[in-house]
Chains A and B, each alone.
Chain A
Amino acid sequence: MGLFETLQRKAVKLGLLPKLLAALPLLSALTAVVSVVMILIIPMNGQYRNTYISENALMPSQAYSYFRETEWNILRGYRTEIEVLNSRGVSASDRYDIVAGWLNEFGAKTAVYRNEEMGDTLYGVLHAPRGDGTEAMVLCAPWNNSEGEFNIGGSALAIALSRYFSRWPVWSKNIIVVFSDNPSVALRSWVEAYHTSLDLTGGSIEAAVILDYPSNNDYFNYTEIHFEGLNGELPNLDLVNVAVHITQHEGMKVSLHGLPRSELEKNNYWSRLKLLFLGMKDSTLAGMKKAHGNEVFSGWRIQAVTLKARGEGQIDITTFGRIPEAMFRSINNLLEKFHQSFFFYFLLSPNNFVSISSYLPSAVLLSITFAIAAVDATVNNAYASALHITYTLLAALASVISLLVSFLVAHWFLYSTTSPLYLILGSVVLAVSPLVMSRSNNALREPVCYRMRTLGYIYYSLILTSLLMLNFPLAFSIGLFGYPMTLVKPLNIYSKSQMSLKLRNSVLLVISNPFVATWLICTVVENSEFPNLDVFAALFSAWKDLNCWTWFVLCLGWLPTWLLVTFSSFTSIPAAETTIEKKSN
């Protein structure tokens, strides 16, 4: 007689299973709440850890950095010349030829990658004197930064640093210095070309550091580090830690996710919670927001961070240059690829992080929420026991159709010029149509509605489960904002208080519509970045230019379920009635 048997007998005796089944809607809501609470717990003391360098070979800041003293004069020299180039209005292609000449001067092999559509990119390869030439580190300075400002400090730094690097004999990996027209599409097309068609290559890229110093001032205040990649990818935590460690070692404040200077000193629950949410937001919207440069390296096992100088203060530009210097010294030490430490994490402050094991359960719970809702839609109605195979098949057909429709919608709006306004309008019209539908038009049978809901929730739960491992922030966001779909109640022609129920359903459906929700949320959290309906244009270009899947997750993951739930909210006719009708006929 085992323990399990005893428990099972107790459960049977107390009639727990029927009670449990009856409480499924409550349980579903409860898991959603617990999931959010679990996220809120993470920034509490004891829930997160201090960052540490996991790969011993990195040894950040262990070697003295010499990018100082007269290197500053040289840096100013290059900057003055770049200013001259800029003021003379030299065309993009000519200016790259001139800069290429400067790079050739100290032995870099240069080439310009021309891409008329996306923008040109100049790159130079410094061959490692003692390396085998199979690996490379990238130092990148977009000519104009993500805000469209002229990245004069960054460009001058990249040239001066490359010249300085060329004098060091320590390099075991090639150094590739890259100047592109902009940090998003131009740089992305170069990275893609590097892995497909470029003739001058320097081996597989291990890491990339993007410099953003959009001012000709010698002094700045603090350093922003950007690291989030596309599709939920993040650089290895070791690289971020190295960047943070070196920046702090050189006496600078580190700002993550664009936190303003006034908030950098804080480290309390609310500051950590803010950074956690900012991290989730930035990661979800990576590719849609203006790229800093690190995003575009996603996908080829390249670890990339962007260093951005901000503000006006006491710290000089060579100090900023010593960050990439020391980072390159660290990366140069690596014998293996970045593999220690974490690839999935959130930083709660520059020196605190949580790993995937702490936050993943909340996304799992959200997907369970939908699984429970699916069970609820299956068992808690009059058609639970009966084997309505026709209805199930009909529902399955409806699922396939909604998936097809979603697919068509995804591609139609991606490749046609139809305004996304129609997307929103169509969604709203569809969501409120049950309100205005006359009763006589209803042809839906109630069991089909229930089966459609079951399939819809199951599908959503599956989508969330498979997405949460790859892109936790996106999975969590769409899980949370799609949650109102589970609250939509089906109604048949005999339901009481039809109107209020219908109104409630329509409101829930409107706010849980993938497009309306995306638009609303982006307008609230990133109004400056996405005014009006720009968020959709950003989604389209993120897919076309950067291979960011978010648009397809919305369309193929979220929309089919929403369509199924919307159709199931139409007033339906109970199955019994139809059979009676048939008999009478």
Chain B
Amino acid sequence: MALSCFLRSVSGTNIDVNEYDLVNSAMQDDADDVIVTGSCKTNFTAQSTTEAVASPSATRNVEENTVADAHTVEDVQFQDFVEETMLVLDELKYPYQEDLRLKPLPGNHLLSSFSFDMKSESFTPGKTDLDIDQYSHYTVFPKPFKPLLERTATRQLHLRFTRGFWDAESWDTLPYDGFKSGGSGVELWAIIESDSQENAYRQWKSLANSLSGLFCASINFIDSTKTTYPVYAFHPAASEELPLFDQDKQLYLIRAALANEPVCTENLTPLIKLLPTKGKSGLSSYLDGHKVFDSIWHSLSIDIETQCDDLYGECRYSMEAMVDMVINVPNTIERVENPIPKPVEADKLRCDQTKHFDAFVCFPSSDNAETDFLFSKIFGKSIRGCDNFASSPSRVCANITDDWSFTLKVGDDYLGLDSNCFELNEGVEYDINLSSANTSSVTVLDEVPLYVSRSLTGYGQDHGGLRTVFHNPRSQPVRAIYFETLPWFMRVYLSTLQVDNTHSNGSPNVTVEDIMQSMHYVPAIDRSRPTHLEYIIEIPAFTSFAVSYQYDKTLLQFAEYPPDANHGFEIESAVITVVSPTDYQIRTATLLLSLSTPDFSMPYNVIIITSTVMGLIFGMIFNLLVKRVVTVEEADKVLAERTIKAKLLRLKQKILSRIGIAT
């Protein structure tokens, strides 16, 4: 019974209520059944993380009942049983691991990186679950993914939801060297096994549509005008092996991005639901949409890889889900206390004592260098229990200097460790405390190997330029892959590509030949393919220069303008992958391209004017065709015969003549 109840709690979703009922019914049974109740109790401590709300009180109930009914059962017997069940449970660990890494950044910012790793059960390639003799458990690996990956023959899947501004100048390198964050908006790339590129695209489209439903994002807007097949960038490292299930097929690397797609709680909630803990216990209980998205920079990422063991011919999927965010700690705490950043009260003003100040004059001093806060204040929640089903316990680590103190709050106790790394093993509420007397003291990180910024230049609605500034602050030359996709309505003239040497910091002059080594360029096709540009560039030490080229803006067709309010067309960020001296990936900011937008009442005017002109022309030609051209005199003569008066006169004469004949 214990085993079955445990399995259900892991694989099922709504286990909480059942479990609770089970406990209660067990308690009402007679004395012999107390053992059964006891076994459930041990289960409870083991799985308390899966069901957060019910477990503490339920456990307490069980304990009371156990004490009440204990007179019928010998203690020794009970203890033995507990140890036995624990042994059984020890074997039932699942490949799941979660981490939270904290890192204070300069300017009172804090980077929180959540990572969740999980692996699927192994499976034999080529056999789908639809086969009659095939079955599999999902355990910790999210259920929606396996059929999806099988159907679309996806070997690797990378999905990024990123938004905000990463201040590389003060915060240095991105978490995970930038390989886990995307450009502003949504970014998706995958390695798909297929027999031809058309089929690969078809599978890719199916994958995008499914992910769109899964993550409540507009990923289904990915079509051929946004899809590229990267040549240098985005390729997995050589060390990674890529399994090919069918040797007749090939692997295709396909990528697309939706610039400035709003990233919101509706994308985070599906991501949390993919985790076995579903945000109810462990570190994921911190992830509240309101708090995650109230950050300066945030990135959600999912990477799925297929790992195969050649020896046994078995494969398994491994998935990494990450949530990274940067918050400004004083602002966030202030907002919790007072949602509107009203002017501070006079007695709380912090003035610079070295400058003139009095009751009326206050030159603000630099930010408070002291800080002391609990994470429950920032995230609005505390960590509810641990994940005992996981193969390794949840870990919380902080990357801090000696000026900081990092403690774990369990109940009312604060625990500290020299390693600044805690493992959460118990089913109790945890909270994290960070304090420092000097917040400006942060751990030194690697300097960013390369700064890249890109902007649109030019004047008017007709043409413009794109200018990318590269700046190498280091003493070593940097080799990087520049990857850029531009929509088809930007007609790029690669012939205008040139290097402008910015002399701001005395950097040496370079020419295009000096720096560009290899270029891959796929020109756009109207309405079906984007411009795809990749080049390998080497930036000499302490050099900055700008690569620029010109483009024309195309007129769109009437129906191609977005139907709702728009402020221009989003241009996705360029991706720069540094390959030497270190591995690093950066993305530029997205751009806003304003195309000449017609006045949309214009078609109406055009229709009216065209119809009028057509009517006039038709009238004239019709008249010319069916009427005779006569002189004014002739016309007058004809007119004289045809007026009603003339007709009446003729009628009168006729009648008169008739009468005249009659008479």
Binding site for B on A (CB under 8 A): 1, 9, 66-74, 76-78, 80-81, 84, 105, 107, 109, 127-130, 132-135, 163-164, 167-169, 195-201, 203-204, 206, 299-301, 334-337, 339
User: What residues of A have a CB within 8 angstroms of the CB of B565 in the complex?
Assistant: 335-336
Cross-interface CB contact of B341 among A66, A135, A204, A336, cutoff 8 Å: A66
| Cα–Cα, bound, A486→B334 (Å) | 73
Cross-interface CB contact of B458 among A66, A128, A195, cutoff 8 Å: A195
B12 within 8 A of A: no
CB-nearest residue of chain A to B297? A129
Given contacts A134-B590, A167-B331, A203-B589, contact A77 B351 (CB under 8 A): yes
Given contacts A73-B360, A77-B363, A163-B364, contact A135 B567 (CB under 8 A): yes
Q: How far is the CB of B538 from chain A (nearest CB, A)?
A: 20
Question: Which of A68, A199, A203, A337 has the most B CB atoms < 10 Å from its CB?
Answer: A199
| Cα–Cα, bound, A380→B341 (Å) | 77
Question: Which of B259, B456, B592 has the most A CB atoms < 10 Å from its CB?
Answer: B592
Q: In the complex, given contacts A130-B293, A197-B457, A334-B567, what are 14 additional A-B residue pairs having Cβ atoms less than 8 angstroms apart?
A: A66-B341, A69-B346, A70-B344, A105-B367, A127-B167, A132-B185, A133-B165, A134-B260, A135-B567, A135-B592, A169-B341, A199-B469, A203-B592, A336-B566
Cross-interface CB contact of A77 among B165, B167, B364, B544, cutoff 8 Å: B364
Cross-interface CB contact of A70 among B349, B357, B566, cutoff 8 Å: B349
Contact across chains for A132 and B296 when beta carbons are under 8 A apart:
no
User: What residues of A have a CB within 8 angstroms of the CB of B502 in the complex?
Assistant: 197, 199
Q: How far is the CB of B566 from chain A (nearest CB, A)?
A: 6
Given contacts A66-B341, A70-B362, contact A196 B349 (CB under 8 A): no
Cross-interface CB contact of A335 among B361, B469, B567, cutoff 8 Å: B567
| Cα–Cα, bound, A368→B357 (Å) | 68
Contact across chains for B357 and A77 when beta carbons are under 8 A apart:
yes
Residues of B559-581 whose CB lies within 8 A of A: 565-568, 570
User: What residues of B have a CB within 8 angstroms of the CB of A105 in the complex?
Assistant: 364, 366-367
Contact across chains for A195 and B362 when beta carbons are under 8 A apart:
no
User: What residues of B have a CB within 8 angstroms of the CB of A109 in the complex?
Assistant: 167, 169
CB-nearest residue of chain A to B597? A339
Interface SS, A side: loop
Binding site for A on B (CB under 8 A): 107, 163-165, 167, 169, 184-185, 259-260, 293-296, 328, 331, 334-335, 340-346, 349, 351-352, 355-357, 360-364, 366-367, 453, 455-459, 467, 469, 471, 500, 502, 504, 544, 546, 565-568, 570, 589-592, 594, 597, 632, 639
Contact across chains for B346 and A199 when beta carbons are under 8 A apart:
no
Question: Which of A71, A134, A335, A339 has the most B CB atoms < 10 Å from its CB?
Answer: A134
Given contacts A77-B362, A134-B592, A337-B567, contact A68 B260 (CB under 8 A): no
Q: How far is the CB of B338 from chain A (nearest CB, A)?
A: 11
User: What residues of A have a CB within 8 angstroms of the CB of B184 in the complex?
Assistant: 132-133
Q: List 15 A-B contacts (CB under 8 A).
A: A66-B341, A72-B360, A73-B351, A74-B362, A77-B357, A77-B361, A77-B363, A127-B167, A127-B296, A196-B457, A196-B458, A196-B467, A201-B453, A203-B591, A299-B459
| Cα–Cα, bound, A195→B293 (Å) | 32
| Cα–Cα, bound, A130→B355 (Å) | 34
| Cα–Cα, bound, A132→B260 (Å) | 6
Contact across chains for A201 and B455 when beta carbons are under 8 A apart:
yes
Given contacts A68-B343, A132-B163, contact A195 B457 (CB under 8 A): yes
CB-nearest residue of chain B to A301? B594
User: What residues of A have a CB within 8 angstroms of the CB of B362 in the complex?
Assistant: 70, 73-74, 76-77
| Cα–Cα, bound, A337→B355 (Å) | 43
| Cα–Cα, bound, A167→B342 (Å) | 9
Q: How far is the CB of B344 from chain A (nearest CB, A)?
A: 6
Q: How far is the CB of B467 from chain A (nearest CB, A)?
A: 8
CB-nearest residue of chain A to B366? A105
Contact across chains for B343 and A66 when beta carbons are under 8 A apart:
yes
| Cα–Cα, bound, A388→B164 (Å) | 74
User: What residues of A have a CB within 8 angstroms of the CB of B344 in the complex?
Assistant: 70
Contact across chains for B355 and A80 when beta carbons are under 8 A apart:
yes
Contact across chains for A76 and B331 when beta carbons are under 8 A apart:
no
Q: How far is the CB of A102 from chain B (nearest CB, A)?
A: 9
Contact across chains for B589 and A134 when beta carbons are under 8 A apart:
yes
Given contacts A70-B343, A337-B594, contact A200 B349 (CB under 8 A): no
User: What residues of B have a CB within 8 angstroms of the CB of A70 in the complex?
Assistant: 343-346, 349, 362
| Cα–Cα, bound, A135→B593 (Å) | 11
Cross-interface CB contact of A74 among B185, B340, B345, B364, cutoff 8 Å: B364
Instruction: State the 5 A-B residue pairs at the shortest beta-carbon distance, nearest first.
Output: A77-B363, A134-B592, A127-B165, A73-B362, A132-B260
User: What residues of A have a CB within 8 angstroms of the CB of B546 in the complex?
Assistant: 197, 199
Contact across chains for A73 and B346 when beta carbons are under 8 A apart:
yes
User: What residues of B have a CB within 8 angstroms of the CB of A71 in the complex?
Assistant: 343
CB-nearest residue of chain A to B455? A201
User: What residues of A have a CB within 8 angstroms of the CB of B259 in the complex?
Assistant: 132
Contact across chains for A169 and B566 when beta carbons are under 8 A apart:
no
| Cα–Cα, bound, A199→B363 (Å) | 30
Q: How far is the CB of B191 from chain A (nearest CB, A)?
A: 29
CB-nearest residue of chain B to A300? B459
Q: How far is the CB of B633 from chain A (nearest CB, A)?
A: 12
Q: How far is the CB of B75 from chain A (nearest CB, A)?
A: 58
User: What residues of B have a CB within 8 angstroms of the CB of A68 in the complex?
Assistant: 343
Contact across chains for B167 and A76 when beta carbons are under 8 A apart:
no
User: What residues of B have a CB within 8 angstroms of the CB of A196 in the complex?
Assistant: 457-458, 467
User: What residues of B have a CB within 8 angstroms of the CB of A134 in the complex?
Assistant: 260, 568, 570, 589-592
| Cα–Cα, bound, A201→B293 (Å) | 24
Contact across chains for B349 and A73 when beta carbons are under 8 A apart:
yes
Q: How far is the CB of B123 from chain A (nearest CB, A)?
A: 41
Question: Which of B185, B349, B453, B567 has the most A CB atoms < 10 Å from its CB?
Answer: B567
Q: How far is the CB of A318 from chain B (nearest CB, A)?
A: 9
Contact across chains for A66 and B567 when beta carbons are under 8 A apart:
no
User: What residues of B have a CB within 8 angstroms of the CB of A339 in the complex?
Assistant: 597
Contact across chains for A73 and B361 when beta carbons are under 8 A apart:
yes
User: What residues of A have a CB within 8 angstroms of the CB of B591 in the complex?
Assistant: 134, 203
Q: How far is the CB of B196 from chain A (nearest CB, A)?
A: 37
User: What residues of B have a CB within 8 angstroms of the CB of A84 in the complex?
Assistant: 356
| Cα–Cα, bound, A68→B346 (Å) | 12
| Cα–Cα, bound, A287→B209 (Å) | 55
User: What residues of B have a CB within 8 angstroms of the CB of A1 in the complex?
Assistant: 639
Q: How far is the CB of A151 from chain B (nearest CB, A)?
A: 19
| Cα–Cα, bound, A232→B425 (Å) | 72
| Cα–Cα, bound, A129→B184 (Å) | 12
CB-nearest residue of chain A to B165? A127
Contact across chains for B357 and A167 when beta carbons are under 8 A apart:
no
Question: Which of A71, A201, A301 has the most B CB atoms < 10 Å from its CB?
Answer: A201
User: What residues of B have a CB within 8 angstroms of the CB of A76 in the complex?
Assistant: 360-362
Contact across chains for A169 and B164 when beta carbons are under 8 A apart:
no
Q: How far is the CB of A106 from chain B (nearest CB, A)?
A: 8
User: What residues of A have a CB within 8 angstroms of the CB of B639 in the complex?
Assistant: 1
Q: How far is the CB of A169 from chain B (nearest CB, A)?
A: 7
Contact across chains for A133 and B346 when beta carbons are under 8 A apart:
no
| Cα–Cα, bound, A201→B328 (Å) | 22
CB-nearest residue of chain A to B364? A74
Contact across chains for A80 and B361 when beta carbons are under 8 A apart:
yes
| Cα–Cα, bound, A327→B364 (Å) | 25
User: What residues of A have a CB within 8 angstroms of the CB of B458 in the complex?
Assistant: 195-196
Given contacts A130-B164, A337-B594, contact A81 B455 (CB under 8 A): no
Contact across chains for A107 and B341 when beta carbons are under 8 A apart:
no
Cross-interface CB contact of B296 among A78, A129, A198, cutoff 8 Å: A129
CB-nearest residue of chain B to A9? B632
Q: How far is the CB of B250 from chain A (nearest CB, A)?
A: 36
Contact across chains for A133 and B590 when beta carbons are under 8 A apart:
yes
| Cα–Cα, bound, A465→B597 (Å) | 25
User: What residues of A have a CB within 8 angstroms of the CB of B364 in the complex?
Assistant: 74, 77, 105, 163
CB-nearest residue of chain B to A70? B343
User: What residues of A have a CB within 8 angstroms of the CB of B363 in the complex?
Assistant: 74, 77-78, 80-81
Q: How far is the CB of A470 from chain B (nearest CB, A)?
A: 14
| Cα–Cα, bound, A204→B570 (Å) | 12
| Cα–Cα, bound, A239→B26 (Å) | 72
